[in-house]
């Protein structure tokens, strides 16, 4: 089978890039599209700081007899890639029809692309940017829709990619918690003990002071994850920049639900946090992934209609670990969420590497269970 690889250079190519998954999943009721503008922001040199950090990214269409049958992006990000020995580039945004040989053609092209840039290999599917979105090939949990920031794949994707003889690089888990079920008794005992201590305070994130609270969260997060040894977390953690946190605040402020996002303080110092948003894919499913001005009415009252929400980030400053603060933050957020947003039935989040035993144990102690698995592969160019 002969395929042609077309670099995306025109607006029509960009449209084809987005229309392909629309066609592939049009009969699949579980698929929910990402917002088109969020995908485009990944490839926007002004909005994606990875370009300014020395990164390079190109995206392509796969053609067969002039018809679009696949798409992908390849990229290098020296700040992240050089943490591996040998350094590894990336591939992502892979979508393809169920055609024998199509994945092999994509990977063959990606190997050549990386070799030309002095790379010995690459991993993927991953994102050219932050590590919590557009990540992996789904391998488990197909009978449920993909929550905000995550992707959905046909079951045949795994088979097509396995035909290219990759190495498994990592599995990433998404956890779920049924909010209509009580929290574990052990967790409740821990939180009752902590609530009685005068030097510990927990409050919702303050929407009137988001820049201040955002900076607190950024510092906790960076300390929490940079402190973990490499085997316990995603290997390419590089920290959240001030620019990234500002962009996140701007994007999420309209849909942020403060009661789902607690911050804990010890003697007045920011110590632990959880930040969540409603599942915005419940809107993208209705708009086809667009969000034009005439579609903004979908946002009205959305926070009172959403059924799922996703914790985007959570962490505890290593100076305050071992005190049960994660349990307290989670339990307070759980209590406030049930009180203020009874429409929310399911928490889905985590986005935890199988290697991150610290976070996995914490989530499972809170009563969360693995709901979906996303796999990342590695290919060597030799």
- Residues 174-218: tens digit of each pLDDT: 999 999 998 888 888 888 888 777 789 999 999 999 999 999 999
Contact 92/374 with Cβ under 8 angstroms? no
What phi and psi values does residue 193 have, to the nearest 5 degrees?
Answer: -65, -40
Q: Is 378 contained in some domain?
A: no
Contact 123/168 with Cβ under 8 angstroms? no
pLDDT at residue 106, as a whole number: 98
pLDDT at residue 71, as a whole number: 99
Strands 88-96 and 121-124: parallel
- Looking at the fold, whether 151 and 244 belong to one and the same domain comes out as no
Q: Measure the CA dihedral 366/232/308/304, to 10°.
A: 80
pLDDT band at 79; cut points 50, 70, 90: confident
- Looking at the fold, whether 42 and 146 belong to one and the same domain comes out as yes
Closest residue by Cα to residue 372 from 140, 202, 150, 168: 140
pLDDT at 231 over 50: no
- Looking at the fold, whether 196 and 341 belong to one and the same domain comes out as yes
Domain end: 123, 155, 171, which one? 171
Torsion sign (Cα): 322, 326, 331, 336: positive
Report d(CA 98, CA 316) in Å as an integer.
Answer: 43
Mean pLDDT of 95-120: 97
Mean pLDDT of 209-232: 80
CATH value at residue 123:
3.40.630.30
Expressed in percent and rounded to 5, the helix, strand and coil fractions of the chain are: 40, 25, 35
Domain end: 137, 171, 205, which one? 171
pLDDT at residue 131, as a whole number: 77
Q: Is 114 contained in some domain?
A: yes
Q: Which of 15-24, 103-112, 179-188 has the lowest mean pLDDT?
A: 179-188
- Looking at the fold, whether 202 and 82 belong to one and the same domain comes out as no
Q: Where are the alpha helices (DSSP H) in the chain?
A: 11-24, 36-42, 49-52, 78-81, 102-115, 156-162, 185-195, 210-226, 242-252, 281-287, 325-340, 357-365
pLDDT at 238 over 70: no
Report d(CA 210, CA 10) in Å as an integer.
Answer: 38
Q: Is 379 contained in some domain?
A: no
Burial class (CB in 10 A: 0-12, 13-18, 19+), 44: exposed
SS3 255: helix
| CA triple 320-269-339, angle to 5 deg | 85
pLDDT at residue 345, as a whole number: 95
pLDDT at residue 297, as a whole number: 66
Contact 93/72 with Cβ under 8 angstroms? yes
Domain end: 171, 196, 211, which one? 171
pLDDT band at 32; cut points 50, 70, 90: very high
Q: Is 300 contained in some domain?
A: yes
User: When comparing pLDDT for 294 and 338, which is higher?
Assistant: 338
- Looking at the fold, whether 120 and 231 belong to one and the same domain comes out as no
- Looking at the fold, whether 221 and 363 belong to one and the same domain comes out as yes
Report d(CA 303, CA 341) in Å as an integer.
Answer: 8
pLDDT band at 236; cut points 50, 70, 90: low
Q: Is 128 contained in some domain?
A: yes
Closest residue by Cα to residue 154 from 99, 110, 75, 73: 99
Q: Is 381 contained in some domain?
A: no
- Looking at the fold, whether 127 and 192 belong to one and the same domain comes out as no
Query: How many Cα atoms are found within 13 Å in the side-chain-facing hemisphere of 130?
Result: 19
Contacts of 159 (CB under 8 A, 6+ apart): none
Q: Is 380 contained in some domain?
A: no
- Looking at the fold, whether 9 and 80 belong to one and the same domain comes out as yes
Would you state the structure tokens that stand for residue 221, as one six-digit string? Answer: 């997060």
Structurally, the chain folds into a number of domains equal to 2
pLDDT at residue 237, as a whole number: 58
Would you state the structure tokens that stand for residue 317, as one six-digit string? Answer: 């400053």
- Looking at the fold, whether 255 and 206 belong to one and the same domain comes out as yes
pLDDT at residue 227, as a whole number: 61
- Looking at the fold, whether 139 and 67 belong to one and the same domain comes out as yes
356: containing domain: 177-373
Q: Is 339 contained in some domain?
A: yes
- Looking at the fold, whether 192 and 142 belong to one and the same domain comes out as no
- Looking at the fold, whether 136 and 181 belong to one and the same domain comes out as no
């Amino acid at each position: 089978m002969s395929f042609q690889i077309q670099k995306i250079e025109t607006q029509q190519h960009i449209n084809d890039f987005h229309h392909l998954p629309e066609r592939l999943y049009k009969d699949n009721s579980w698929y929910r599209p990402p917002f088109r503008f969020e995908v485009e922001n990944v490839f926007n040199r002004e909005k994606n700081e990875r370009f300014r950090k020395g990164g390079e990214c190109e995206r392509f269409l796969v053609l067969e007899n002039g018809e679009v049958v696949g798409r992908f992006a390849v990229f290098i990000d020296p700040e992240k890639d050089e943490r591996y020995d040998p350094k590894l580039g990336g591939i992502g945004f892979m979508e393809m029809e169920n055609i024998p040989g199509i994945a092999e053609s994509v990977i063959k092209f990606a190997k050549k692309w990386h070799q030309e840039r002095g790379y010995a290999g690459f991993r993927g599917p991953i994102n050219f940017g932050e590590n919590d979105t557009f990540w992996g090939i789904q391998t488990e949990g197909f009978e449920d829709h993909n929550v905000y920031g995550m992707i959905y794949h046909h079951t045949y994707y795994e088979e097509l990619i396995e035909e290219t003889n990759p190495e498994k690089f990592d599995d990433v888990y998404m956890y779920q918690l049924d909010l209509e079920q009580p929290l574990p008794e052990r967790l409740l005992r821990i939180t009752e003990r902590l609530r009685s201590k005068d030097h510990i305070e927990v409050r919702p994130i303050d929407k009137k002071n988001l820049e201040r609270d955002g900076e607190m969260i950024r510092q906790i997060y960076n300390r929490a994850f940079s402190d973990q040894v490499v085997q316990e977390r995603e290997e390419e953690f590089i920290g959240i920049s001030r620019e990234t946190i500002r962009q996140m605040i701007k994007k999420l402020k309209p849909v942020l639900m403060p009661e789902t996002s607690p911050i804990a303080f010890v003697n007045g110092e920011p110590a632990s946090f959880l930040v969540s948003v409603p599942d915005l894919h419940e809107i993208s499913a209705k708009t086809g992934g667009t969000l034009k001005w005439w579609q903004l009415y979908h946002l009205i009252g959305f926070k009172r209609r959403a059924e799922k929400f996703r914790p985007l980030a959570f962490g505890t400053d290593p100076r305050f670990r071992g005190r049960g603060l994660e349990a307290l933050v989670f339990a307070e957020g759980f209590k406030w969420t049930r009180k203020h947003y009874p429409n929310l039935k399911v928490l889905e989040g985590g986005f935890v590497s199988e290697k991150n035993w610290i976070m996995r144990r914490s989530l499972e102690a809170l009563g969360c269970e693995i709901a979906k698995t996303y796999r990342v592969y590695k290919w060597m160019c030799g």
